C-alpha cells in the first residue's frame, strides 16, 4: 500500500513537472511571437544593423538547392524540393539586396564598411550569392528550352563577374593599405573577397553550356582567367592562415565555424576546373581548329587538377570538422551568422565529388557526395531555423558603430566585434 502511494505521488510530481515545463515553453514561444525585435531599441535598427554577412545565408541556401537538384540518386520529388529552395534563395537574395542598398542610401556608410576589418570581408558574399541564383536558373530552366534564358544568364553572369573582380581587387588592397589587423585575430574570412572569382568561373562553365560558337569560347576563356586569379591568391591566403593557426591556435568559439571557409576555394576550384575542362572539350575543337588538341588537353588537365585539389580539400574538410568538434567539447558555441560558413564551403566539396563521379563513374564518389549532401541539408535546416529565431528577436541585427575607425594601427587588447560574433 505504501509503495503504491509513493508511486502515485511520483507520477503526480512528474505530471506537474511536465505541465510546468510545457507552460514554460509555451510562454517562451508566446513571448517570442508577441515581442519581435525585442533586442533592438527601434525598428530602424533593422536597417542600421543589416550587414553583408547576411548574404552568406543566400549562398548556403542556393548551394542546398543545387545539391538537391543534382543529387546522385534520382528521385523526382527532390527536383521539386530543389526548385522550391531555389525560389526561396531568389527571394532571400532580393530582400537582402534591398535591405543592404537601403542601409547604404540611408546611412551613407559604404566607405566605413569598406574600411572596417571585419564588415568588409563578407562583401565578397554578395557576388557569390548572386552566382547561386544564376547557376540555379540555368540548371533548372535548361530542360524547359526557354529561348531567352541563355542570353539573360549571360548578361547576369557579366554583371556578376564585374562585382566579383571588384571585390577581388579592391578589398585585398584595403586590407594591405588602410585596415588595421592583428595577426592573432585574423580568421579565414580573409578569403571571402577573393573567392568570388573562383565561384564565377564555375558559373561561367555552366553559362557556356547553354551557348555555342564564339560566345561559348569567350565565356570559357574568361572563366579560366577568373579561376587562375582566385585560386592563386586563395592558396597564398590559406598558407597565411595555417601559419596563424600554428602560432595562435584555433579561433574562439564565436568564429570557429570559419574553420570551414578554406574548404570553399578548394572545393570550388576543383569543381570549376572540371566543368571548364568539359566545356573546353566541347567548344574548342570547332572554334579553335589551329589548336587541335587544346580541348582534349584541357579536359584531361581539368580532371587531373580537379582530383589533386579535391584531395587537398579532404585534409581541410577533416581538419575543420575536428576543429569544430574540439571547440564544442570544450564549451558552448554561440549561434551567429558565421554558422552559415558550414554550408556553402562543404557544398563545394560535394559538387567537386559529384563531378568526379560524372567523369569517372566510380561509385565511391557517388556515395560520398550523397552522404555529405544529406548531412548538409540537415545542417541547413538547423542553421536556417536558428537564423529565423534570432533574427526575429533582433539579436542578429544589433547595429555596431563603424563611424569612427583608426587606420593603420592596432591598439593592444582591443576587441573589434564583427556582425558574425554578436550573438
| Residue 150 CB coordination number (10 Å) | 20
Cα separation of 349 and 274, whole Å? Answer: 13
The full length of the chain comes to 423
Give the confidence band of 288 by pLDDT, cuts at 50, 70, 90.
Answer: confident
Residue range 295-302: average pLDDT?
Answer: 95
Under a CB-based contact definition with an 8 Å cutoff, are residues 394 and 39 in contact?
yes
Q: Identify the residue with better confidence: 378 or 414.
A: 378
pLDDT at 258: 95
Q: pLDDT averaged over the chain?
A: 89
The structure's pTM equals 0.88
Q: What is the Cα Rg of the chain in Å?
A: 24
pLDDT at 416: 45
Instruction: Give the tens place of pLDDT for each residue, 103-151.
Output: 999 999 899 999 999 999 999 999 999 999 999 999 999 988 889 999 9
Give the confidence band of 292 by pLDDT, cuts at 50, 70, 90.
Answer: confident
Cα separation of 109 and 123, whole Å? Answer: 14
| Residue 155 CB coordination number (10 Å) | 12
Q: Is the pLDDT of residue 274 over 50?
A: yes
Nearest Cα neighbor of 233 from 278, 196, 181, 283 is: 196
Cell numbers found for residue 138: 540555368
Counting residues of the chain whose pLDDT is more than 70, the rounded percentage is 87
Under a CB-based contact definition with an 8 Å cutoff, are residues 356 and 274 in contact?
yes
Q: Identify the residue with better confidence: 22 or 207.
A: 207
The CA-CA-CA angle for residues 189, 249, 232, to 5°, reads 40
Under a CB-based contact definition with an 8 Å cutoff, are residues 201 and 224 in contact?
yes
Cα separation of 65 and 86, whole Å? Answer: 5
Three-class secondary structure of residue 416 per DSSP: coil
Cα separation of 167 and 163, whole Å? Answer: 6
Cα separation of 194 and 327, whole Å? Answer: 27
Three-class secondary structure of residue 257 per DSSP: helix
Nearest Cα neighbor of 274 from 223, 210, 219 is: 223
Residue range 276-292: average pLDDT?
Answer: 90
Nearest Cα neighbor of 60 from 160, 139, 131, 148 is: 131
Rounded-to-5 percentages of helix, strand, coil across the chain: 80, 0, 20
Helix axes 149-177, 125-141, angle to 10 degrees: 160
Cα separation of 90 and 331, whole Å? Answer: 36
The answer for residues whose C-beta is within 8 angstroms of residue 203's C-beta and 6 or more apart is 131, 134, 135, 157, 160
Cα separation of 353 and 280, whole Å? Answer: 20
Q: Identify the residue with better confidence: 169 or 41.
A: 169
Q: Is the pLDDT of residue 265 over 70?
A: yes
Instruction: Give the tens place of pLDDT for each residue, 155-188.
Output: 999 999 999 999 999 999 999 999 999 999 899 9
Give the confidence band of 10 by pLDDT, cuts at 50, 70, 90.
Answer: low
Cα separation of 324 and 338, whole Å? Answer: 12
Helix locations, 70-181, DSSP H: 76-107, 110-115, 125-141, 149-177
Cα separation of 52 and 58, whole Å? Answer: 11
Give the confidence band of 5 by pLDDT, cuts at 50, 70, 90.
Answer: very low
Burial of 313 (0-12, 13-18, 19+ CB in 10 A): buried
pLDDT at 410: 40
Instruction: Give the tens place of pLDDT for each residue, 319-368.
Output: 999 999 999 999 999 999 999 999 999 999 999 999 999 999 999 999 99
Nearest Cα neighbor of 359 from 280, 313, 295, 300 is: 300
Under a CB-based contact definition with an 8 Å cutoff, are residues 355 and 274 in contact?
yes
pLDDT at 14: 46
Give the confidence band of 308 by pLDDT, cuts at 50, 70, 90.
Answer: very high
| Residue 183 CB coordination number (10 Å) | 11
Instruction: Give the tens place of pLDDT for each residue, 367-412.
Output: 999 999 999 999 999 999 999 999 999 899 888 765 544 444 444 4
Cell numbers found for residue 164: 566579383
Amino acid at each position: 500500500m505504501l509503495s503504491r502511494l509513493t508511486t502515485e505521488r511520483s507520477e503526480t510530481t512528474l505530471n506537474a513537472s511536465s505541465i510546468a515545463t510545457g507552460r514554460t515553453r509555451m510562454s517562451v514561444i508566446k513571448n517570442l511571437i508577441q515581442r519581435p525585435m525585442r533586442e533592438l531599441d527601434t525598428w530602424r535598427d533593422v536597417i542600421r544593423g543589416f550587414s553583408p554577412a547576411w548574404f552568406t545565408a543566400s549562398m548556403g541556401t542556393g548551394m542546398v538547392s543545387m545539391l538537391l537538384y543534382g543529387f546522385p540518386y534520382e528521385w523526382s520529388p527532390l527536383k521539386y524540393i530543389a526548385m522550391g529552395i531555389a525560389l526561396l534563395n531568389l527571394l532571400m537574395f532580393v530582400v537582402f539586396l534591398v535591405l543592404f542598398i537601403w542601409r547604404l542610401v540611408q546611412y551613407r556608410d559604404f566607405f566605413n564598411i569598406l574600411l572596417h576589418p571585419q564588415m568588409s570581408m563578407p562583401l565578397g558574399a554578395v557576388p557569390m550569392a548572386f552566382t547561386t541564383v544564376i547557376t540555379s536558373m540555368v540548371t533548372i530552366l535548361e530542360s524547359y528550352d526557354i529561348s531567352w534564358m541563355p542570353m539573360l544568364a549571360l548578361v547576369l553572369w557579366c554583371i556578376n563577374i564585374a562585382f566579383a573582380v571588384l571585390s577581388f581587387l579592391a578589398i585585398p588592397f584595403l586590407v594591405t593599405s588602410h585596415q588595421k589587423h592583428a595577426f592573432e585575430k585574423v580568421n579565414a574570412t580573409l578569403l571571402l573577397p577573393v573567392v568570388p572569382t573562383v565561384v564565377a568561373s564555375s558559373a561561367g562553365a555552366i553559362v557556356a553550356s547553354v551557348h555555342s560558337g564564339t560566345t561559348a569560347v569567350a565565356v570559357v576563356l574568361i572563366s579560366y582567367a577568373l579561376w587562375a586569379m582566385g585560386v592563386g591568391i586563395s592558396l597564398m591566403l590559406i598558407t597565411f592562415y595555417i601559419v596563424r593557426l600554428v602560432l595562435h591556435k584555433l579561433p574562439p568559439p564565436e568564429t570557429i565555424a570559419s574553420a570551414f571557409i578554406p574548404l570553399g576555394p578548394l572545393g570550388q576550384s576543383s569543381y570549376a576546373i572540371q566543368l571548364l575542362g568539359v566545356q573546353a572539350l566541347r567548344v574548342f575543337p570547332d572554334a579553335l581548329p589551329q589548336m587541335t588538341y587544346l580541348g582534349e588537353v584541357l579536359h584531361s588537365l581539368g580532371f587531373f587538377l580537379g582530383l589533386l585539389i579535391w584531395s587537398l580539400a579532404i585534409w581541410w574538410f577533416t581538419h575543420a570538422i575536428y576543429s569544430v568538434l574540439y571547440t564544442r567539447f570544450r564549451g558552448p558555441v554561440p549561434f551567429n551568422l558565421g554558422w552559415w560558413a558550414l554550408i556553402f564551403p562543404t557544398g563545394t566539396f560535394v559538387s567537386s565529388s559529384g563531378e568526379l563521379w560524372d567523369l569517372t563513374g566510380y561509385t565511391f564518389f557517388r556515395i560520398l557526395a550523397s552522404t555529405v549532401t544529406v548531412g548538409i541539408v540537415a545542417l541547413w535546416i538547423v542553421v536556417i531555423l536558428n537564423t529565423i529565431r534570432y533574427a526575429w528577436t533582433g539579436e542578429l541585427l544589433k547595429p555596431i558603430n563603424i563611424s569612427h575607425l583608426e587606420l593603420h594601427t592596432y591598439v593592444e587588447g582591443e576587441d573589434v566585434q564583427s556582425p558574425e560574433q554578436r550573438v
